[in-house]
Structures are given as structure tokens and as C-alpha cells.
Amino acid sequence: MNSTQSNDPTLAPAWARLSDLAIGLRARELRGLFADEPDRGPAWTLEAAGLRADFSKQRITGDVMSALLDLAREQGVLAKRDAMFAGEHINATEDRAVLHTALRLPPGATREVDGVDVAAEVRDVLERMADFADRVRDGRWTGATGERMLNIVNIGIGGSDLGPAMAYEALRFYSDRDMTFRFVSNVDPTDITEALRGLDPAQTLFIVASKTFGTQETLTNAKAARDWIVDALGEGAVEKHFVAVSTNAERVTAFGIDVANMFGFWDWVGGRYSMDSAIGLSTMIAIGPGRFREMLDGFHAMDEHFLRAAPESNIPLRMGLIAVWNRDFLDIPTNAVLPYAQFLSRFPAYLQQLTMESNGKSVRIDGAPVDYNTGAIYWGEPGTNGQHSFYQLLHQGTEIVSCDFILFAQALEPVFDMQDMLAANALAQAAVLAFGRTAEEVRADGTPEELVPHKVMPGNRPSTFILAARLEPHALGALIAMYEHSVFVQGAVWGIDSFDQWGVELGKAMANSILPDLQDADRPLDRDSSTDALIRAYQALHAQG
């Protein structure tokens, strides 16, 4: 950052200009913007890495985009981007590099950080993962009784669960359908018991994913799984039915897992950016090493686009800047992710962690409090399901929600014209959100006057439409990387650290201190009156079980 830049974006000259532009734009509607620009659709569309991103239904103008690009320059966004790719320690509060992009470098590439070729280390882990995945998939890896592993259970939480669970569901079409994949994250005992229901211990392999091998929820579930295996097959079965994704060899060994079956990753990979590391072992077993490489190639294609494309044609840069515009200048607090693809049913949940854990910050990277809005609330469900639940609020509610529509042109499993029906719904919803329906148009349909106000759609509700040919591994990688880099752009503009997550830590620490209180009814309590009363009420109800 040069001497003219500040972590506070409100001091940037472009911020004031954007504030003025927002005042003027509130008087304009998308209908008018399209009328003024007959070719607005194609003009506001960018393509890269197999994705087509149409930003034309966002409430932006050329002047707004120009000012946003100026804001990016004034905040040093591209310099920060280059520093990230170079392996500089841009995660300032933890003094770490941020190098998830190194996880998907092509074979033969190099990337030296702090004197170490991290690309070579990544390749080594990927090769070990591929060898293991092939042995599980073709039956050479057998359990304690000599049977093939047909059930894979991934035990993790946060990024060690959301990424693998989302990717498996997204790429289920390409998975080995003779195998069953389940994912356990919640310390609620029903999660592990339901995941194990109906599985044969002799054919079940557990992947325990925890960098430190000390995450409470993960290790609690792993212990339950271990007891299940030992009860059925004996203590000696553990090393044949468990592998670890971790960096703590001592704890892995103490659990009973051979360190030869431990797959590592690095402190420069944040959990929410780790699904293409060893955390993706279950994904690789499901779809095979070749398909996993295709996914990595999709990630890398979008990485290269973000790194090298001109600012005016850079999809993640534009996406991130529009997110800042919506959040800070149009006062839109939430963003709905609406994939018109059932296989992407877990994608909104995955993005919740990626976006909100990254940019849910109220202090800047220098420790000063922010006095502007940062990360939006992300949520969503697949279309067309959502149309019959929350789209009513999207169209006529008092709160405006920005939306991301995601559509694939080719059905993975074609059934007569159902893909066309799906596409028609996605296109229609985006158009109605943008343009609405006026009272005059409603009356022209012959609607009784008393119903006219109820059928008016105000429109002017912004959305981005993302289109790709087919939901395949390459497309999934590119899609995720697009969002990753958009999140980076937002954080870089806001001057916050998008790569720490201190807000997650205090609750976990307090839970550890409350646990002994819950387990000892005679233990004196000295917390707030609400928590103490709830502890006693819980103990009384628990004792009745």
C-alpha cells in the first residue's frame, strides 16, 4: 500500500463520488436503464473459464462502474491481489500467507514462498491422495475382514465438512454409484448415529479431517465412530478403517491411525478455502483423481483470469465491486444464491461460510473500527423449490435482496423438456425481479381494481445471472474460485482481513468452560443470571431422560 492509500475506504475520493451517484441512481429504475441502453444485456456480460456472467440487471451505470474501478485502484485491490498470489503474509493478524491458489496449480508449476516450493509439496500430497483414492475405488484397500470399502464417512466441521459435502453433492453424477458417502459434522449425537445407520462396519472407511486433530466436535464424532468400529471388529481394525487429514502426527498416532495414512495441508490454507486440498479426499474417492484434476483446472482457470484479465473485463473484480456497491451505497444487506441445479443444493450453505466468515468483520486490518457496512448475509436454496417458499419476499417484500442466479444449459440426466422448463423459470424470475409489473400492465390483463395493488411487482431488484454449459468438475472449480476472489475483492476494498476468523473462537472457548458446569449439578455457578438459570433447567430436564 502506498502512502496515499488508507485502510479506510471512506477516505478514498471515489467513495464520495459513489455516494453522490447512489443518490441519483435511486431515482432511476432498471426499466429505464435498459431503455437507455438497448444492448445493455450483452454490454454488461463477461465470460471466462467457461462461465458467462451477466451483470446487466444490477443497478449500475457506466459512471458507477468507473467509480468502483477507481475505488479499487485507490484501495490497492490489484496490488493486494498480486501480493496474495506471490505468497506475501496478507493474513496480517495471523502472520500467514494466503495461498489456496497454489492448491490448483498445474503439474510442473512452481510457487516459492518463504524459501519453499509449495507447489512441489502440493503435488506430493495430491499424488498420495490419488494413489489412496485409486486403491479404495478399485478394491485394493480392504478393511479388517478383507472386504472392500463401500462406505466413506467424512468427519469434520466448518471447511472440513461444508466443502467436501457440497462438492460430493454437486458432482454426484460423476461419483462411483456403488459407494455410499456420508458427512458428519454436528456434535449432536443424532448426526453420527444417523450417518452410521445401515452401514456395515466391515465395509466402512472414516476420513477424520482436523488440521490440529484437536477440534472438539470432530474428535468427539471420531471417537464415537472408533467405538463403533472397535465394538464390531476389534481394536486392531482401527488402522484399516480410519485415515486422517491433519498435520498433527502425534495425535493421529495416538488415535490409532498409521501416519502413512495421514494427508497433510498447510497453515496458509484457511478451512473455508481448503476443499481442493487433502480436505477433498472424499471428493477424490467419489469422482476419481482424473475428475478431481479437472476441478482443480477449473479453479486455476478462474485464478488466471482474476490475476491477468484487465480490470474492465475481470469477472471476480466486477462481482466483488458490485457487492460493495450493493452493500454500502444501495443499502442492500443480503444476497440470495439461487442455483437452478439440484446438485448445487449445498452450494448456498458453502458460500455462507466462505463469505460471512471471511468478511463478517467490524474492525479493519489495522484494528480500527469500521463505520461502514461490510459483509452481506448470504443464503439461498435451489430453484425451482425456492419459488414456492421465499420468492414472494424477493418480489414484493419491503427488504430488497440482491440475487445470484446460476443455471446450466445442459441437463446431466435429460428427461423430455424438463431442463428447458428449469431454464425458463430461472430466466423469468430474474426478469420479473428486474422489471416487475406496473399497475397499468396488471389492469390490462383485466384484473379487478381491488386486486391491482396486490398484483403489482415493483421490480428494480438487482441480480447477476451466471450461465455455464454443464455442471461438471471444471465448471464447479471455476464457480467456486469466482466467489473466492469476489470475497477477496470486497475485503480488500473494506480494508479488513478476510482470512482470519477470531469471531469463531470465543464461543468455542466458552463452551469448553460451560461443559463441566453442565456435568456437575453441585458445581457452583457464577455466570450471568440467564446462562446460570438455563444450565440448571437443562440439568433438570437432562436428568429425566
CA distances 490 to 9, 320, 356, 361, Å, are 11, 5, 11, 12
Which distant-in-sequence residues (6+ apart) come within 8 Å of 280 by Cβ?
129, 163, 164, 167, 274, 292
Q: 405: which DSSP letter?
A: E
Distance CA 22, CA 122 (A): 45
Residue 243: burial class (beta carbons within 10 Å; 0-12, 13-18, 19+)? buried
Q: Which one-letter amino acid corresponds to residue 413?
A: E
Which distant-in-sequence residues (6+ apart) come within 8 Å of 236 by Cβ?
144
Distance CA 190, CA 201 (A): 18
**Cβ–Cβ < 8 Å for 77, 7:** no
User: For residue 10, is the peptide bond before it cis, meaning its omega torsion is within 30 degrees of 0?
Assistant: no
Q: Which one-letter amino acid corresponds to residue 315?
A: I
The Cβ of residue 500 has, within 10 Å, a number of other Cβ atoms equal to 19
- Partners of residue 378 on adjacent β-strands: 335
Distance CA 342, CA 525 (A): 48
- State whether residue 153 is helix, strand or coil: strand
Distance CA 375, CA 327 (A): 8
- State whether residue 245 is helix, strand or coil: strand
Residue-by-residue DSSP string for 340-402? E-GGGTTHHHHHHIIIIIHH--SB-TTSPBPSS--PPEEE---TTGGGGTTHHHHHH-SS--E
- State whether residue 324 is helix, strand or coil: helix
Q: 236: which DSSP letter?
A: G
Q: Which three cell numbers stand for residue 46?
A: 463477461
DSSP strand pairing (151-155 vs 204-209):
parallel
Q: What are the two backbone dihedrals, phi and then psi, of residue 256, each rounded to the nearest 5 degrees?
A: 115, 10
Residue-by-residue DSSP string for 39-75? THHHHTEEEETTEEEE-TTSS--HHHHHHHHHHHHHT
Please give the positions annotated as active site. 357, 388, 508
